[in-house]
Amino acid sequence: MLKKTFIVLLFSLILSGCGYMSVYKNIGQFNYKVLIVEHIGDRDMRNLINSQLKKYSEIESDKIFKIKINTNYEKNIIAKDTAGKATDYQIKVTSNFNVESETINKIIKINETFNVKAMDNKFEEQRYDAIIKNNIANTIVKRIILQLSRN
């Protein structure tokens, strides 16, 4: 027991001394307003990203980011069996964010890919694709908010 407490104490001292800081530490303290000016591209991804960015558009702040979003969703076959039936897919989402504010004007490009095995049940495959789209949209929104919080 004494050995475990010593290891935990030593580990915490080492981490506090090396300058370790969580990547998502300041994401809850985001104090900018995000306005989506224009969003073009895939309808499902557009709706998912818009709904997740809405919570950042309700913040009252003088600092406003105006964003134009262009999303592209692709589902490509990457492997087939001997009969020519697709067995593996790659889902690729590319999002371009044109961010404008009083201090910055830049383009942020975010790419997310995910490999998926094909399923025999098409209904289950569509449900799984919807879950993957939601997770990718979540990741994209976290990454754009992280980029905006650094400015």
The Cα 6–Cα 19 span in angstroms is 21
Domains and CATH numbers, the chain: 31-149 (3.30.160.150)
Phi, psi of 25 (to 5 degrees): -60, -45
Closest to 92 in 3D by CA, of 107, 109, 105, 104? 109
pLDDT at 146 over 70: yes
Q: Is the pLDDT of residue 84 over 90?
A: no
pLDDT value for 36: 87
Mean of all residue pLDDT scores within the chain = 84
Stretch 72-84: mean pLDDT, rounded? 90
**137 confidence band (pLDDT: 50, 70, 90):** very high
| Per-residue pLDDT tens digits for 39-64 | 898 888 988 998 888 887 777 777 88
Closest CA to 70 of 108, 109, 39: 39
Give mean pLDDT, residues 71-96.
91
Reduced to 3 states (helix: H, G, I; strand: E, B; else coil), residue 125 is helix
14: enclosing H helix or E strand: helix 2-17
